[in-house]
Amino acid sequence: FFFFLLVYRLHGRYHEMAPNVVPMDYTKDPDVKLPMQLIINMPELKENPFKERIVESFSEDGEGSLSFNDFVDMFSVLSEMAPRELKAIYAFKIYDFNTDNFICKSDLEKTLNKLTREELTAEEITLVCEKVIEEADMDGDGKLGFADFENMISKAPDFLRYCLKK
């Protein structure tokens, strides 16, 4: 019952963003998707520097358009009740800007620029990226795989709480 109420409320939010596009009855058009631009302007995401990456990570097509199922998945992972392991998987996807299943120096640079709103110098960014890779790269390949990332965030218990927060 509780889950049903949450999904019902989420559908109300989804419908509210584009009432002329999102039907109340999906029998005629079950493949409705909302564009990223509508979703990133939601109050929960509006100020998040990773809002586009968050939406892209939950988008089945990878382009940022969300079906209602994608939308529910996103809010499930963003909820405080989501398991840490699930949050870690999506945090990794969000920081993997080039979608190669690794977090490389380029991904870290983009992450730092978003976090600091481009206030660091190029030298500072390079130094931080090199230190992160040096500290977290367990297999020495110069980039972070998911295991490296998971190990790194396990040392920072609050990381996921602040990283994937709506």
Classify 95-164 by CATH class.
mainly alpha
- How do 33-34 and 66-67 pair as beta strands? antiparallel
CA atoms within 13 A on the CB side of 27: 1
pLDDT surpasses 90 at 137: yes
For 3, 10, 13, 33, 145, the CA distances from 139, given in Å and listed in that order, are: 41, 42, 44, 40, 9
pLDDT tier, 127 (very low <50, low <70, confident <90, very high otherwise):
very high
End-to-end CA distance of the chain: 24
Q: How large is the C-alpha radius of gyration of the chain?
A: 18
pLDDT score at 165: 59
pLDDT score at 80: 86
For the chain, the DSSP string reads -HHHHHHHHHHHHHHHH-TTTS-S-TTS-TT-EE-HHHHHTSTTTTT-TTHHHHHHHH-TTSSS-EEHHHHHHHHHHHSTTS-HHHHHHHHHHHH-TT-SSSB-HHHHHHHHHHHHTT-S-HHHHHHHHHHHHHHH-SS-SSSB-HHHHHHHHHT-TTHHHHHT--
> Are the folds of 1-78 and 95-164 the same?
yes
pTM of the model: 0.88
pLDDT tier, 160 (very low <50, low <70, confident <90, very high otherwise):
low
Q: Where are the domains of the chain?
A: 1-78, 95-164
Whole-number Å distance between alpha carbons of 104 and 31: 35
When comparing pLDDT for 166 and 153, which is higher? 153
Per-residue model confidence as pLDDT tens digits over 24-40: 877 777 789 999 999 99
Per-residue model confidence as pLDDT tens digits over 55-112: 999 999 888 999 999 999 999 999 988 898 999 999 999 999 999 999 999 999 999 9
- Of the chain, the percentage scoring pLDDT greater than 90 comes to 75
- Name, in order, each residue with C-beta under 8 angstroms of 96's C-beta and a sequence gap of 6 or more: 102, 103, 107
Mean pLDDT of the chain: 91
Q: What is the CATH code of the structural domain delimited by 1-78?
A: 1.10.238.10
